[in-house]
Amino acid sequence: MNRVEIERKVLSENDRIAAGLRGRFLSQGTLCVNLISAPGSGKTALLERTLESLDPQRRVAVLTGDIQTDNDAARLRRYGFPVRQITTGGTCHLDARMISRALEDSTWGSLEILFIENVGNLVCPASYDLGEAAKIVLLSVTEGEDKPLKYPSIFLKSSLAILTKIDLLPYLQFDIERAEENAHHIHPAMEIIRCSSATNAGIDRWNEWLAKRRQEILRSKPEFETAGAS
Amino acid sequence: MNRVEIERKVLSENDRIAAGLRGRFLSQGTLCVNLISAPGSGKTALLERTLESLDPQRRVAVLTGDIQTDNDAARLRRYGFPVRQITTGGTCHLDARMISRALEDSTWGSLEILFIENVGNLVCPASYDLGEAAKIVLLSVTEGEDKPLKYPSIFLKSSLAILTKIDLLPYLQFDIERAEENAHHIHPAMEIIRCSSATNAGIDRWNEWLAKRRQEILRSKPEFETAGAS
């Protein structure tokens, strides 16, 4: 088997496990979102502001991936929701098997929202389906307007782009309209939210987006499950 | 052959080509440096300031890697030095074969300095030797102090870390001493330069670092070549 065939086999095995996860999330009414960005674009900070804004009674959990350290899990645990670190030990992305194992080991039961914070990498995580309802790409305004054109795959596969750190715009030469045009050039129907975890700008819109997507999950839940859950 | 064996074979083939490149650079007295960072950390901006500061008569060239677009090459060509874009078309890193082919296709002859700007990715490029004299990791101060701990491989393999965008420090909660401690925790002997491509801070130190490393290359050049070059 050559390298391309091996890659194909790994991805098809991943897709099989991801399909199982997607079925499980759907039957449990769980909205699962997969947050992807470059290192340091603010995935953890956005999740901190999000968890802080949520009613602590809600059934919400986080899986956070890193090559090394459990720094992100430690930051996120302060908000009272269950958080699990997946340390990949060198692997540049999360895969469906890592998610499946982490969920098997947990006692979380059925969740309303599962946030997955992927490894900081704008390339490789785009290839791995984790059974999520939506991939979400974060782009910090410190990174340059041309990133959607340079990393088209993740912008094509994400339902939503979050432009982060907009509080820094006054100090940067960053043309935010141009960045949005570039994202729409790659993915015309892409939704975009401008956000700052320093000022909380955009957090309400992001929570509305999550609520709307969760309703869609509940509406598409198989009949027999909806009946049982009422 | 399983996936791990295939990976090993690919890397050993890469190492073979990289060794050839390294021999060629050494015999020609070329300092080759491989710049690696997350997307948007300022590799291209640093190279712009560097090329701008160099005597246009010097034999200096740039190979710049991206998944898509030749934006970076277009930016860098304005400084009068030869620049070639390597568009990887999806591959998340540059490998030695891409460098070898780009050099074969060029008419650059022997160079004083070859800058390689890798694909924006803090993970995968760390595994690929390109025959360079030094890997250099860039970390933007917008990205967080813990990045050396989260991405240890590239900090371990790099001779030099450049902390970029330090002009933004007044607007960030970024503890630069802590970031440097973290880098030294992973790699105690690592040199670090604080830099801003907006204010040109640190560019002189970076040019001194390059000059010193070039002298080391010339001193280690095989005898017969030194005689011929005088």
pLDDT at B173 exceeding the cut of 80: yes
The mean pLDDT value for B206-217 works out to 97
pLDDT at A1 exceeding the cut of 90: no
Nearest by CB: A124 against B69, B92, B149: B92
Q: Do A123 and B121 touch (CB under 8 A)?
A: yes
Alpha carbon of A138: minimum distance to chain B alpha carbons (Å): 12
Q: Is B71 on the interface with A (CB under 8 A)?
A: yes
Over the stretch B135-149, which tens digit does the pLDDT of each residue have?
A: 999 999 999 999 999
pLDDT at B230 exceeding the cut of 50: no
Q: What is the pLDDT of residue A227?
A: 44
Do A167 and A201 meet the contact criterion of CB atoms below 8 Å apart? yes
Interface confidence (ipTM) of the complex? 0.90
pLDDT at A15 exceeding the cut of 50: yes
Looking at chain B, the whole-number percentage of residues with pLDDT higher than 70 is: 96
Q: What is the pLDDT of residue A52?
A: 97
Q: What is the pLDDT of residue B227?
A: 44
One-letter amino acid identity for A213?
Answer: R
pLDDT at B126 exceeding the cut of 90: yes
The mean pLDDT value for B159-181 works out to 97
Nearest chain B residue to A124 by CA distance is: B92
Looking at chain A, the whole-number percentage of residues with pLDDT higher than 70 is: 96
Write out chain B residues lying below 8 Å of A163, CB-based.
none
pLDDT tier for residue B1 given thresholds of 50, 70 and 90: low
Distance CA A61, CA A25 (A): 13
pLDDT at A224 exceeding the cut of 90: no
Burial letters B73-106, b for 16+ CB under 10 A, else e: bebbbebebebbbbbbeeebbbbbbbbbebbeee
Q: What is the pLDDT of residue A203?
A: 98
Write out chain B residues lying below 8 Å of A92, CB-based.
92, 121, 123-124
Write out chain B residues lying below 8 Å of A66, CB-based.
150
The mean pLDDT value for B111-122 works out to 98
Q: Is B64 on the interface with A (CB under 8 A)?
A: no
Distance CA B82, CA A60 (A): 53
Over the stretch A55-105, which tens digit does the pLDDT of each residue have?
A: 999 999 999 999 999 999 999 999 999 999 999 998 999 999 999 999 998
- Cα B150 to the chain's mean position, in Å? 20
Interface size A-B, in CB pairs within 8 Å, comes to 116
Over the stretch A18-65, which tens digit does the pLDDT of each residue have?
A: 999 999 999 999 999 999 999 999 999 999 999 999 999 999 999 999
Write out chain B residues lying below 8 Å of A2, CB-based.
6
Chain A, 17 to 56: residues with Cβ < 8 Å from chain B are: 38-41
Over the stretch A144-160, which tens digit does the pLDDT of each residue have?
A: 999 999 999 999 999 99
Alpha carbon of A197: minimum distance to chain B alpha carbons (Å): 12
pLDDT at B228 exceeding the cut of 50: no
Write out chain A residues lying below 8 Å of B168, CB-based.
142, 168, 171-172
- Cα A127 to the chain's mean position, in Å? 14
Distance CA B17, CA B39 (A): 26
